[in-house]
Structure 1
Amino acid sequence: RAIRMMIPPAWQNVDTMDADLRAFYEFNSMHMEPWDGPAGLVTTDGRYAVCLLDRNGLRPSRWVVTKDGFITVASEIGTYSYKPEDVVAKGRIGP
């Protein structure tokens, strides 16, 4: 619910959308504009991590996984200090 409210899709012209989902977006559109949300969002259930960009996908978000199990997601390089040899994987989150 939080993700759908903070980062809604472009739902207004989707004719096949479920009526309950349309009502959800119509109600919440009174409280928050689509561009008021975060540039990116990270959620986890303790087992999986999910990272996504805002619906426009204009601001970059990069991720790095290190040997010690840390996952860093940020819009700027150098947010977390790590040695290049400790990097297991890295990349960029797409829109």
Structure 2
Amino acid sequence: MTIDNTTIDKLAKLSSLTIEDDRKEALGKELEDIVTFVENLNEIDVSHVDATFTTIEGGQPLREDNSCKEDGLRDRIMNNAPKSADNHFIVPTIIE
């Protein structure tokens, strides 16, 4: 798979990153290597492996799902968001 500048620009927009023009060629090559590696995983025979697997004896420990209301928590979270307005996260448009 070839990763061109158009693809890198789209990925940069979706991830809210700024990628310098002189870095795009090297980044494209790195991404191509990653995609090639992942495509190689499709060749591994996993027919003998169960669909779910854990190394934790007795399964995954769970915790109670309790809600809490902490003063200022929402404001602290929103202050760490790259973009927000009216207590909502602003994300890049992915469907045009």
Task: Tell me if both proteins adopt one fold, taking TM over 0.5 as the criterion.
Answer: no
Q: Compare the two structures and name the one with the higher strand fraction.
A: 1
Give me the TM-score of the superposition, normalised by structure 2: 0.23
Q: Compare the two structures and name the one with the higher helix fraction.
A: 2
Structure showing greater radius of gyration is: 2
Give me the TM-score of the superposition, normalised by structure 1: 0.23
